Structure 1
Amino acid sequence: MPTALTELSAHPIVQAPMAGGASCPELAAAVGAAGGLGFLAAGYKTADGMRQEIERLRGMTGRPFGVNLFMPQPALAEDAAVDVYRERLAGEADRYGTTLGDPRGATDDDYEAKLALLRENPVPVVSFTFGSPTAETVDSLTRVGTCTVVTVTTAAEARDAQEAGADAVCVQGTEAGGHQGTHRDDPQRDGNGAGVGLLTLIAEVREAVRLPVIAAGGLMRGAQIAAVLAAGAVAAQLGTAFLACPESGAHPLHKQALTDPLYARTELTRAFSGRPARGLANRFLREHGPYAPAAYPALHHLTSPLRKAAAQAGDPQAMSLWAGQGHRLARQLPAAELVAVLAAELAAARAPSTPVASAPAPSNPAASPPAGTAGPGPFGSAS
C-alpha cells in the first residue's frame, strides 16, 4: 500500500508541479531537503524527458517526491475558431520575428508512455491534472506503492476521484496561478467570478468525499497554511510562492514580474493555451484573451514559439506569466529558507494565543444573565 501523504514530509507544505520548466529537479530537491514535498511537472515533456528529470532528482536527494501528469485531451472537433485566432496572431509573429506553431499537435501529452515508465520505476506520489484517471490506472500505481492524487475544482470532480480509488485530492481554488485543473473545459464557466474560492471549496469537498485534502490556491504565508489546515486540509500546495526562488526554473523576467508594480493584478485567460489559466495581466493577455477560443492544447502549440521568442527578446508582455492572486507576496528566498520561514509562520499561527483577561463583574447584578443561560455570542448573536 502507498505511504500516507502525511508521512512523506516533515511539514505540510507541498511545492506545486508547475509545467513549463519552473518545477525543475533543483527546486524539488531543495524543498524536499527542507522538509516539504517537492514535485516534478511532467506536462509538456516526453516520457523520456520525464525519466531524465526523475533520474536527476534522485541523484540529488533521497527524499520522497511527486510527479504530475496531464490527462489526455479530446481532439478538436472544429478547427475554424483556431484558424481565426491564428490569423489574429499573425502580427504578433511578425513583431517577434518568429512563426506560429502547429495547433494540430499531440493531445495526449505522451500519457500512456509516462504511465508505463512510472509503473516500471515507481515514485512516491503521482498526481493528475485536467481529469481523473481510470480505476485501473489508479490500481496499477497502488500496486507498485505509489500514492495517487487528483486535482479537483468542484465537489463533483472530487467524487469522481474517490470513485476511481485515488488516495487524496488536491483542491484548487480559483485563486490559484496557472491552469485551472477542471476535468471538463466548459466555456460557460469562464470569467473571473466563475470559480470557487479555496476555503469554500475545501468545505464543499470535505462534505462530498472522505479523501484527504491538499489545499491549493493563492497561498503565500504560513498563516494561510494554518487557515486551510484548520478548514480540514492535511497539507497546503504552493506554486507562486516558489516561483521566485533561485532554484526555480522560471524565466528571470517571470520572477521579476511577480512583484513588479507594473503587474497589479491577475486574470483568468485562454489567450496562451486555450484553457482558463491565471496569469499576470500583460499586453498579450489583455489584447487577445477576449478572442481566444476554448481549444486546448491547440492554442498552447500555436503560441509556444511566440512566447519563447518574446522571452528571448526580453519582453514579458507576450509571455505567459502564470501567477496566483497572492503574487505580490512573493519572496525571493532560497527554497529551503522559504520552507523554513513558512514552517515558522505556520507554527506561530497555530500557537495558543495569550488568554484574554476576564472582564470585571458587572456592578449591577441584574445585568448578569440568569444561571444556566448564555450571554451574547460572536458579533452579538446568541451563542
Structure 2
Amino acid sequence: MSSALTDLCPHPIVQAPMAGGVSVPQLAAAVSEAGGLGFLAAGYKTADGVYQEIKQLRSLTARPFGVNLFMPQPEFPGASTGSTADAAPPAAGAVEVYAHQLAGEAAWYETELGDPDSGRDDGYEAKLAVLLDNPVPVVSFHFGVPSRDVLESLRRAGSLTWVTATTVEEALAVERAGADAVIVQGVEAGGHQGTHRDIQENDGCGIGLLALIAQVREAVSLPLVAAGGIMRGSQIAAVLAAGAGAAQLGTAFVATPESGAHALHKQALTNPLFVRTELTRAFSGRPARGLVNRFLREHGPYAPAAYPEVHHLTSPLRKAAAKAGDAQGMALWAGQGHRMAREFPAGQLVEVLAAELDAARAALSERGEVR
C-alpha cells in the first residue's frame, strides 16, 4: 500500500460509496473506526444534505473518510463529460416510449412516473463548494474526470482526489488530469459502472478486475484502488498482489447492520430466489449491476441509454416498490460475489477481512518458501 493510503487507513480496505441511502454516516464511521476508510455518497443528495452528513460523520469519528461525487452528465449519450464531441442528442422519443412501457408499473404501485427532466448535474458545483469549504481527507469521482482546476483546488484544500476508471484509456485520462489515485473498477462491481462515456454498444463488454489492474498498472504510475466483486480477505490479497494499493468493497457492506440499505435489499443478497446479477439500464438508463428480478427482466431489454432521465423517471416506482415490500420492483444493486455477503457489524467485518488478508498473505509467503 502506498504511503498516502497507509496514512489514511491501517487496513487496505475501503468501503465503497453507495448512493441511494446505503452509505450513511454510521456505516462510514464504523469502517473508519475499525481501521478501514469509510465513504459517504453525495449522489442524489442536496448540497446541504451532504454538509449535514459530513457534520454527523465527524461527530462519530475523528478518523479519515471520503466523499464521492457524480460528475455532471453531458447533454447527449456517448460524449465524454464536459466534451463537445459530435454525437446524436439523447433520444427523447426513446425515453417517452419507455415511459409508456412503465405506465403499467405506475398503475400497479399507485404512483406517478417521475419527471425525466429533473436535472443532469446532481448539484455538482454546489457540492464542490461544500467540500472546498469543509475539506475531507478524500474526494472521489464517478462517471467522468473532473477538470485539472477542480482537482488542484481540492488538493490545496487538503483533500486527496480519486477517480474511477473502467479501462486503460480512462485511467490514462485520470492521470493526465492530475488525480492522486485511480479507482480501477472491474465489470464484477455492483451498482453503476463508472464509465466516462456511456455507449450502448459497449454494454456487457467490461473488463474483469484482475485483468484490468494488470493493464492499468503497466500504463499509469498512480496508486490504484481495486473495486469489483471483492468479498473476502483472500480476494483483497489477490488484488494487492496484482498491483493495487487498496481494495474497495461495496456489496460486502450492504448487509451490515449500519448500512442504510432497505431490509429487503440486504436479505436479497443471499436469498436463493435471486441467483445471479446482470448489467442493466432498466432503473437508471446507465449500465449498473443488480440482482435479476422481475423489473430487470421485463424492462431491461428496452431501457434506453439515457441517464439520468431514466433514473428520474423510475425513482417513484422504486420508492413505491420498497414501501410495498416488493423486492421484485426494487433496484437491488449487487456485485457478482453477493452470495458471499455476511451480516457482521461493519467494524467486525473490517477486522475479519483484515485477518483473512493476513492469513492469505502468510499462506502465499509459505508457498514461496517451499519453492
Q: Contact conserved, 1:253 with 1:316, CA < 8 A, in 2?
A: yes
**Structure 2 residue aligned with 1:75:** 75
How far the C-alpha of 1:357 sits from its partner, in A, is 7.4
Q: Deviations over 1:18-74 (max 9, x none)?
A: 000000000000000000000000000111110010000001110000000000002
Q: Deviations over 1:180-229 (max 9, x none)?
A: 000000111013xx110000000111111100000000000000000000
Q: Contact conserved, 1:5 with 1:147, CA < 8 A, in 2?
A: no
Match of 1:114 among 106, 127, 136: 127
**Structure 2 residue aligned with 1:155:** 168
Give me the whole-angstrom Cα distance separating, in 1, the residues matched to 2:270 and 2:119: 35
Give me the whole-angstrom Cα distance separating, in 1, the residues matched to 2:14 and 2:236: 11
Q: Which amino acid aligns with 2:251?
A: T
**Structure 1 residue aligned with 2:223:** 212
The equivalences for 1:1-20 within 5 A come to 4-20=4-20
**Structure 1 residue aligned with 2:253:** 242
How far the C-alpha of 1:145 sits from its partner, in A, is 1.0
Give me the whole-angstrom Cα distance separating, in 2, the residues matched to 1:71 and 1:273: 15
Q: Contact conserved, 1:129 with 1:151, CA < 8 A, in 2?
A: yes
Q: Which amino acid aligns with 2:17?
A: P
Cα-Cα RMSD? 1.2
User: Identity percentage over the alignment?
Assistant: 71
**Structure 2 residue aligned with 1:361:** none
How far the C-alpha of 1:106 sits from its partner, in A, is 0.7
**Structure 1 residue aligned with 2:25:** 25
Q: Contact conserved, 2:5 with 2:12, CA < 8 A, in 1?
A: no
How far the C-alpha of 1:261 sits from its partner, in A, is 0.3
Match of 2:291 among 280, 285, 305: 280
Partner of 1:321, secondary structure, is coil
Q: Contact conserved, 2:70 with 2:124, CA < 8 A, in 1?
A: yes
The equivalences for 1:364-375 within 5 A come to none
Q: Deviations over 1:210-252 (max 9, x none)?
A: 0000000000000000000000100000000000000000000
How far the C-alpha of 1:111 sits from its partner, in A, is 0.3
**Structure 2 residue aligned with 1:298:** 309
Structure 1 residues 298 and 357 mapped into 2: Cα distance closer, same or farther (>3 Å)?
closer
Q: Which amino acid aligns with 1:105?
A: S
Q: Contact conserved, 2:132 with 2:157, CA < 8 A, in 1?
A: yes
Q: Does 1:96 align with 2:109?
A: yes
Match of 2:198 among 145, 165, 185: 185
Q: How many residues are treated as equivalent by the alignment?
A: 354
The equivalences for 1:116-135 within 5 A come to 116-135=129-148
Structure 2 gaps of 5+ residues are: 77-88
Structure 1 residues 355 and 121 mapped into 2: Cα distance closer, same or farther (>3 Å)?
closer
How far the C-alpha of 1:75 sits from its partner, in A, is 2.6
Q: Deviations over 1:117-150 (max 9, x none)?
A: 1111100000000000000000000111100000
Q: Which amino acid aligns with 1:97?
A: E
Q: Does 1:258 align with 2:269?
A: yes
Partner of 1:4, secondary structure, is helix
Q: Deviations over 1:234-274 (max 9, x none)?
A: 00000000000000000000000000000000000000000
Q: Contact conserved, 2:290 with 2:333, CA < 8 A, in 1?
A: yes
Q: Does 1:269 align with 2:271?
A: no
Match of 1:313 among 324, 340, 349: 324
Q: Contact conserved, 2:265 with 2:327, CA < 8 A, in 1?
A: yes
How far the C-alpha of 1:356 sits from its partner, in A, is 8.0
Q: Does 1:168 align with 2:198?
A: no
Give me the whole-angstrom Cα distance separating, in 2, the residues matched to 1:176 and 1:264: 16
Partner of 2:248, secondary structure, is strand
Give me the whole-angstrom Cα distance separating, in 2, the residues matched to 1:134 and 1:208: 21
The equivalences for 1:31-46 within 5 A come to 31-46=31-46
Give me the whole-angstrom Cα distance separating, in 2, the residues matched to 1:99 and 1:36: 41
Q: Does 1:66 align with 2:76?
A: no
Q: Contact conserved, 2:38 with 2:65, CA < 8 A, in 1?
A: yes
Normalised by the length of structure 1, the TM-score is: 0.91
Q: Which amino acid aligns with 2:75?
A: A
Partner of 1:171, secondary structure, is strand
Match of 1:325 among 323, 336, 341: 336
Normalised by the length of structure 2, the TM-score is: 0.94
Give me the whole-angstrom Cα distance separating, in 1, the residues matched to 2:369 and 2:146: 51
Structure 1 gaps of 5+ residues are: 359-383
